[in-house]
Structure formats: structure tokens, C-alpha cells
Amino acid sequence: MRSLIASTTALALVIGIGPIAPVSAQEGYQTPPDNVTDIVTRPPSPRVSVSPNNDLILLMEREALPPVSELAKPMEKLAGLRLDAAINDRHGTRAFVGLTLQDVASGETRRIALPENADIADVEWSVDGSKVVFTNTRTNGMDLHVLDTATGEVATLMTGGLNPVFQSPTWMPDGSLMVLTIPEDRGERPTRSLTPTGPAIQDASGGEEAQTRTYQDLLKDPHDEAMFQWLATSQPVIMDADGGNQRAVGAPRIYTSVIASPNGEYLQMEWLSEPFSYQVPWYRFPRTTAVSTKDGEMVKTLAQQPLADALPVQGVITGPRNIAWHPTEEAMLMWAEAQDGGDPRVETDNRDNLVGLAAPFDGKPTLLARLEDRASGALGVEGSDDLIVYEYDRDTRELRQTLVDVKDGSEPRQINLRNIQDAYSDPGSPLTTLTKQGFPVARFADGKLLLSGSGATPEGLRPFLRRFDLATLETEEIWRNSGEQLESVIDVVSDSGSAFLTYYESPTNPGNVRLHTEGGERFLTAFPDPHPELTGIKRELVTYSREDGVELTATLYLPPNHVEGEKVPVVVWAYPREFNDAATASQNRDSPYRFTRIGGYSHLFFLTQGYAVLDRAAMPVVGSDPETVNDTFIEQIVASARAAVDFTVERGFGDGERVGVGGHSYGAFMTAHLLAQSDIFKAGIARSGAYNRTLTPFGFQAERRVFWDTPETYYKLSPFMAADKIKEPILLIHGKNDNNSGTFPQQSERMFAAIKGTGGTARLVMLPHESHGYRGRESVLHTLAEMLDWFDANVKNAERNDETEPD
């Protein structure tokens, strides 16, 4: 573990006004009660990865929380990326710190010997499961390793020189490795001159709309451009699985992907080129897609996309996009092409086309299917040239699945159409397997797909495993979760689906892998309860109605040892979502048998301090027209919040007075609105929110209209404009390094200033080095301390409205 940096940058900036006495501007990191700190700092259960043959399990161990000092490492913010120049990779904390192999049949485990202070990432099984490739990050570089699963031995293939900024090491169809490396002759790192060579200039030529979201970490000047090129430029190298026979293919470029064809004879290469932009992230930069031989000799340039800095809101590029290999053909590329100019506002019954081109790539592309809606993906079918193509209609929120026969030209067949918000009608998703060449395809045996799904019902989730006949479109259920546990399918072990693996959890089981066979079931892992002292927490799925008749759902948690009828302070935690109709808004999407896992900076820690928590309290914003649904946003969330609090009183555990509200991101936005537009809550906690929508003028969340189309909507939906109405205490928490679109740190800083300036009660906590979510140990503990203290002072111990002075 790297030593903790002791400096003023490792302190949380805290500013307070109001009834809680302000302290010094730099208090230093605080910690919550010992019982909370103890739980937070316990290591989590290992991550589980099952081999392609389902005969081995790789247990990947994680550390609890990294110190803030790891987040404080130098960071290059370039083109929407955050890069660590010392290792030439994405900036971040340690992923995995240990590996263990477990045999499924015997349960035998083998701990893998790794370098000291291992930082394991980019883990990928070979197609036959005999090897696992991974990287290990050191202070000043990354090494490439391969694990032999038969012997448990680890070989080192490269010491330094990797460049996995855009693509991690990946297996080729013949069992060799494709690795993007640092070019040997890339030169010295660019240095920023203290004397500028001139101003940074951007142009708008006029005549073309360029409606872009509020992206962050963009390029700002010529030095940033030079650094981006220096860090992102890579040299593709193919090597044997033991690191031998290394050979470079193609010239050094800013490759975003280099993928071999299923027959291994060709490479699909995609790379970025200038001119770069200071307005959009890297994925909108000019992009070239080409095909080369496996030795790097260019065969054909498929597409040269210009800078995409003027797309309509929720629009796509014109020309070929999402180019990929057909998974079961030897060497055939397929892609989507917009037929509406890439503009979703255009009315058409042919929004996209699906196109294909096979080797030797010297003919004209073949039209595979005309699509009514926007193409959103395709999945191959095992042993067939068929494709399951997914289309999405943003207005109706309908997802269409169409079966496309690539070879014989027969008419595509619709196999499913549903509203993606209608959880009750979800038929499940195809389980996948890998072809011998390593491409994922839908499992297909005896004319049937195998589908798994969450199985949402009014009583809660009941995951299932089904067979789906592609000829008759009939469904046969093989298995469905039952009993007082939540169990979902991971994968099948047999083609028929009679043997399969599940992830099993219950109110007392934190989550383990279980094997189902015709002979019964047995657990393959035995991860213990991470916090047995909290087993007394009561969890329940509840429903209630708001005044317009919309049925609402929530998950109710009562504190340990709560006695029926005892009134306790209540926390309502929520996140608003838009729906086309009340029926889908009212659906139950949780389970009463889920394990109550509490960790990180979770609001569920309020349970340890005697609060009840109404979690995931539904805040639906319902409207048949997605274009105008936000016009009644405030009225609907206020009605939902009032219904939630009324429910706590009717159930007898709440008094209707000691109630606080909170949320993260869009939930923070909601919290500020509720405090400004109602008197339902005593106080609020708003983390990483956006409060001034004029700073996100080209849309936000599901809002499609731009500011100049409906300025009154943007004004009304900006709690910043109603800061003078926020009289209840609000705690604002934000990462000083937030890179989420729209929620830049200035949002909380300006909101705090507005509340302070209009006489409100607020506290602002800016967490050094943290982004939209918080990862550093000190930051997480401090956030919990602030949250618990805030509601203790302003909710739990607040004066009740019905209290009077004694005679």
C-alpha cells in the first residue's frame, strides 16, 4: 500500500452555515462511529469469473478501499479520458490484489503466486480455458502475464511497454495474443512551456448546429493535443501465448481497436486522427476503419468518419458505424448506416440499414436488413449465420428483436417487441457462449435459444431459465427461482440447460455461486456474511399510492431490534425516472429476499444509528410524450415524496416529522427541488448533483429539448433559481474531480453560494481527488460522518412541529 500523503490537499474542504456551529474551513478528515468504520474497511468478497468450459472458477480478490493518496497520483485529463502517464493507462486505483483458481468438480482451490503488492487488471480467459492473460501495474509501468490454469504457474511476457489505453491484451483465434504497445520511437514526453506560444482558439463557422452535451476533461490547447497523441499512440504486436515470436503489425497510430477476423486472416483496425476537438471527447474525433492482413498489409479502407462535433441531440453519425466482424462467418464485416441523416427527429419507417461485406472486401456491401428503428446491437447465433438484431425507438421506448438470415436473403422475422420499461413482459436475454475463435454468440441447440431473465413480478423478482424456439417463437420454462432467496442464472453447464450455475443470495447469505444438476444443488463458494452484526435489519418491499393514483414501490429497511409501532426517524432515498405510462412506472423491480449489503458510503448505514430507510422510493415522472414529460417534473416528485412520507406514518414507524431526504447525482437534483418546492422534509443530503440547468443547455438526463427551445423549462427545472425557497438545512457533497457530464463541481459550489446568499442553511463538502462517485478510504469515511451528523442534528434531534413550550 502506498504511503498516505500528508498535505493540505488530503483534507476535505468543509464550509458550513446555519444551526450547526461552523468549524474551521479545513477540519481534516472525520470518521463515523466505530461500528460503521469497521464495516466500511472490511475487504469485500472476491469477484468470481467462470471459465469458458465452466470447469474452473477464478476468484479475484479486492481490497476494501484505497487511500486517497492513490487518487492523488498525477492525472492527465485529455479528450474525455483520465490517464496516468507513469503507467501509460487509465488513471485509477488497484483492481484486484490476489487470484485463486477453484475446480468446479472437486472444489479444490489453488492460490496463484503473484508479484508483491500486485495490482491485477485486464483479466481474460483463453477460449479453451487453459490460460488467463492479465496485467500487473507497478509504480512506473505495466507488465503482461499469462496464467497456466493446469499448473497454476504465471509467466511474464512483457515487463513494461504496454499501452492498454483503448484496448487491453486480447486472445486471437489461433491462441496467440494481440497486444497494443508503446512505440519504441515515440520520443520524449511533451513538456508544457511556461511561455505560451499563443492563445487557444476555437471557431464556429455558422450555418450548422453543434449541440453537444457538457463534456468534461476535454483537450484545451496544443500541449494537451501533443500529450494525447503521445499517450494514446500504440503499436499493435502479435505474440505467442508464451511471449515468443513477437511481431509488429501496421504503423503506430492512435488505435482504438485491432480485432482479428474469426478465421484469423484479417485484422479490423480503427484509429483516430486529427483534427482533434476542444468541444467533444475522443470517440467523436475523426476515425478511420480499415482491414489489413494478419501481417499488417492494408487491404481496404472501409470508412473515414470526419469529426462528429455537430450531431443532433441523441443523434448518430451518417455512414458506417459500429463496424464489427460477423461472429460465425470466416471474414465478414457488418455495420449500421443511418437513413435519416442521423437525426432522431426525422419521421421515417426506415431509420437504419444493416450492411455486410465479406472477404476479399473488393465488392459492394450487401444490404442485410432494413430497420424501422435505430440499430442498437446484434448478436450471432451459435452454429448459424443468423443474427439477432436489436432496434430501439426512443419515443415509444420499444425494443425490437429481429432475426436476420445473412446468407439466404429471406425476410427478417420479428421475434420480440416490448417496452424496455415493462419489466413484467421481459422475456429474458439469450445466454451466450464463445465460438472456437473466441466470439460471443447466443447458445443454440435443437432449434432453441436459452434465455435468462430477472423475472419481475408484482411480488418481486423471480429469475428464470427458459428455452425459446426460434421457429415457433414458443417458450418453455426450465427453471424459476422460488423460496426465500434470490437466485439468478450465471451460465449453463449443459447445452440442454439441465445443469447450470447461479448466483444465490438470501437475507442471510451475502451471495455465492451454486451449481444445479439433475442430482441436486451444491454451493461452489462460501463467502461469509460481511457484517453479521447487522442481520437484525428487516427488509420489505412495500407499495403505496400517490394522489393521482399512480402506484409506487420502495424497499423498506427497519433498524435492528425495531419494535412494531416504535416511531423512528426516517430517511427517504430516491432517484427520479421517466416513464411513458403509470402501469410501467408502478412495477416492482426488486426482491424481498435480496441480501442487505451495506458498504462504501451507502445511505443504508443510517440503519446502524436507529433510522428507518425507505430506499429506492419511486419518484416516477410519467408522460406519454417524452418530449414534454419534464413539464410536470416538480409536481410529480413532490406528490411521490408526500405519498412516501404518508406511508411511513400509516405503517406506524414514522411520525411524519423526523424525515430527511437524500439522493446522488439526479437524486441530488431531486433533493434540492423537494426542499425548495415543499415542506415535507426536515433536511436533505445532495451528493454530486447539478442544480443550474442553464449550464447544461443542450439537454440533460432524458430531456431532449435545448435551452433556447424552452428556456422556461430549464429555468423551472433549476433548483438554483429557487435557492431562496430552500429553508430546510441541506448538505451538499461533491467530488472536486467530478467528470460526469453536467455535474461539474461548480454546480455544488454555486448552489451553496446561492443558498448562503439568500439566508438559507447549508453545508458544502468538497472531496479532494474524488470523482462522481467516491473511492478513497478517507473520503468515504468522511462522507458517512457528514451524513450521519447532518441528519442527527437536523432530523433525528430536530424540534417537532407539534411540540410546545411547557406551562
Distance CA(478)–CA(137), nearest Å, equals: 44
Report DSSP letters for 214-264, one per residue: ---S---SHHHHHHHHHHH-BEEEEE-TTS-S-EE-S--BEEEEEEE-TTS
In 576-676, DSSP assigns E strands to 577-579, 612-615, 620-622, 659-664
The catalytic residue among 516, 531, 603, 772 is 772
C-alpha 444/C-alpha 225 separation (Å) is 47
Catalytic option among 119, 452, 738, 771: 738
Q: Which of 302, 221, 231 is nearest to 81 (CA)?
A: 231
727 Rama class: left (phi>0) / alpha (psi -120 to 50) / beta: alpha
b/e string for 570-607 if b means 16 or more Cβ within 10 A?
bbbbbbbebbbbeebbbbbebbbbbbbbbbbbbbbbbb
* Burial class for 373, CB neighbours closer than 10 Å (0-12, 13-18, 19+): buried
Q: What are the strands of the beta sheet with 56-61, ordered from one edge? A: 47-50, 56-61, 98-103, 109-111
- Known active-site residue 738: yes
CA atoms within 13 A on the CB side of 140: 0
DSSP per residue, 479-542:
EE--SSSEEEEEEESSTTSSSEEEEEE-SS---EEEEEETTEEEES--PPPS-GGGTT-EEEEE
CB of 442 closer than 8 Å to CB of 448: no
Distance in angstroms (rounded) separating the CA atoms of residues 287 and 199: 27
- Known catalytic residue at 772: yes
Task: List Cα–Cα distances, 733 to 214, 530, 782, 790, in angstroms.
Answer: 20, 27, 10, 12
Bridge partner residues of 440 (DSSP): 434
Q: Provide CB contacts within 8 A for 561, sequence distance 6+.
A: 536
Burial label, 413 (beta-carbon count in 10 A; 0-12, 13-18, 19+) = middle
φ/ψ bin of 217: left (φ > 0), alpha (ψ from -120 to 50), beta (otherwise): left
> For residue 286, what is its C-alpha cell?
475523426
Task: In the chain, count H helices and then E strands.
Answer: 9, 51
Interatomic CA distance for residues 582 and 302, integer angstroms: 46
Q: What is the pairing mode between strands 730-735 and 683-687? A: parallel
Instruction: Indicate which residue of 665, 678, 771, 779 is catalytic.
Output: 665
The DSSP line for 736-798 is TT--STT--THHHHHHHHHHHHTT--EEEEEETT--SS---HHHHHHHHHHHHHHHIIIIITS
> Within a 13 Å sphere around the CA of 55, how many CA atoms are in the beta-carbon half?
8
With both helix axes pointing from N to C terminus, report the angle between 633-651 and 666-677 in degrees, rounded to the nearest 10: 80
Active-site annotation holds for 718? no
Q: Which residues are catalytic?
A: 665, 738, 772
